[in-house]
A and B are shown apart, each in its own frame.
Chain A
Amino acid sequence: GAVVSQHPSRVICKSGTSVKIECRSLDFQATTMFWYRQFPKQSLMLMATSNEGSKATYEQGVEKDKFLINHASLTLSTLTVTSAHPEDSSFYICSAQRGQGAQETQYFGPGTRLLVL
């Protein structure tokens, strides 16, 4: 199978600090990765599409200066929540896309729970 890891799994930080979350595809290369946010008892909300070697594409309503995405290699994408505030507390999940065109499939990481105090 395809394995995607995230680090850290949980993080607690103070308001105003920045937090970096890593997403790695362990056994395949991923040109495209995705970042999602999930609130309790709700579905996943796509935040942005991370493209290796180019700028991320953000969904409407997601602040690109607040949620910085870097996809520097084919196996690593990072999401940095800058100047975090309590309302940024959430479960952040990444996925890595494997395959091309009609056969592409997303494999998800285990998620990172962020709590901002």
Chain B
Amino acid sequence: GEDVEQSLFLSVREGDSSVINCTYTDSSSTYLYWYKQEPGAGLQLLTYIFSNMDMKQDQRLTVLLNKKDKHLSLRIADTQTGDSAIYFCAESKRGKLIFGQGTELSVKP
């Protein structure tokens, strides 16, 4: 199967919290990343977490890491319409990034 897996779609209402989930396979990954891609654009690094951390918060973004289950999540508080995009999680593996399939987040007003 895929190294990194994500659900493909998530729809939320403006103002709600969004939680995007990701599972990975390589327990030796040092860093795990979340990237955002808007239509027709490249990837914007949102945040990353070091593998010895359980949680990292950066303004509206909270990353939770369950290393035992190899599960990573990104929570976006007070989701806005401008947050509508595709979100990719990625693990580093032998110097390369392995991406999930991307989760398309749709924010309805």
Contact = CB atoms under 8 A, between A and B. Distances in A.
B95 A108 contact: no
A43 B102 CA distance: 6
Interface residues of B, number: 21
B100 A43 contact: yes
B96 A93 contact: no
**Which of A44, A93, A104, A108 neighbours the largest number of chain B CB atoms within 10 Å of its CB?**
A44
B48 to A, nearest CB: 7
A108 B42 contact: yes
A43 B96 contact: no
Interface of B: 30-31, 33, 35, 40-45, 48, 50, 88, 92, 95-97, 99-102
Interface of A: 4, 6, 32, 34, 42-44, 46, 49, 93, 95, 102, 104-111, 113
